[in-house]
Chains A and B, each alone.
Chain A
Amino acid sequence: MCDKIPMKTITLECPDRLHEQLSKLVAAGWFKSPEDAALEAVRRYLSLHSVELQEKQIMADVQWALNECR
């Protein structure tokens, strides 16, 4: 299914220390390869910068606390 998604290739020079950390996650079974781990890191960065989504979720928390939480 993934091969239907349009993809671009990025060549990345990764500091040894960072690569070592990615490799540890691979060795622990969390990712299939350091490249997969790096891709997840990019996704995470982008997701964390979705201000609209974060604010919508926090406001849902506020409404829950004010109306349902006891």
Chain B
Amino acid sequence: MSAGEIIAVLDAGPLIHLDELGSLRLLSGYREVLLPDIVEREAREHRPGIQINSIPGLVRVSSNPVAAESLFDLVAEFGLHAGELAAIAVLKEHHGDCLLSDDAAARAMAEAIGFQVRGTVGLILRGWQRKQISKVAARDLLKALPLKSTLHLRPGFLANVLEQINDRTD
């Protein structure tokens, strides 16, 4: 499945972190980017000025507690909160393909029920691989994560990620 055919659903993490980096454009290239209302509320609580309308292919969707009810057993096992539950429920209800989340529990649950999952780091590198940004720009964004965003990464781990992309050609 090519990127342009993928329907992605946003959780608050990548939305907030990419906005903190001024890089919401990296969400482009999906067929649709679905944004559950409860996730938008969470994002706006953290980032009142967030430029959500600039996201290409954005489709706002209402969260449906009834659709989420069938997931309650899994929710108890994985320990999700309302925004993440809403995102996964939207993924199922709207036949989405990919959850965009930085939350470890939400990612684990979405993968367990068969969905692709990508987070902020993956989206930055996807932008480089799709030639939306240069390798240098991707590296700069990764380095800026601990400084400008609320996505916390251990310095040693970030160095390891940067090393992984060092040998790759632009």
Contact = CB atoms under 8 A, between A and B. Distances in A.
Interface of A: 2, 25, 28-30, 40-41, 43-44, 46-48, 50-51, 53-55, 57-59, 61-66, 69-70
Nearest to A54: B104
Residue of A44, A46, A65 with highest tally of chain B CB at under 10 A: A65
B80 A69 contact: no
Interface string B66-103: 10110000011011111001000000000000000011
A55 B75 CA distance: 22
A35 to B, nearest CB: 13
Contacts, number: 90
Interface residues of B, number: 37
A63 B130 CA distance: 15
Question: Which label, helix, strand, loop or mixed, suits the secondary structure of the B interface?
Answer: helix
A47 B161 contact: no
Given A28-B65, A51-B154, A66-B168, A43 B118 contact: no
Given A47-B104, A70-B129, A64 B118 contact: yes
Given A28-B65, A48-B103, A53 B122 contact: no
A62 B105 CA distance: 19
A58 B125 contact: no
Given A40-B79, A47-B78, A53-B108, A65 B103 contact: no
B89 to A, nearest CB: 10
B103 A58 contact: no
A57 B104 contact: yes
A29 B65 contact: yes
A61 B123 CA distance: 8
Contacts of A63: 164
Contacts of A48: 103-105
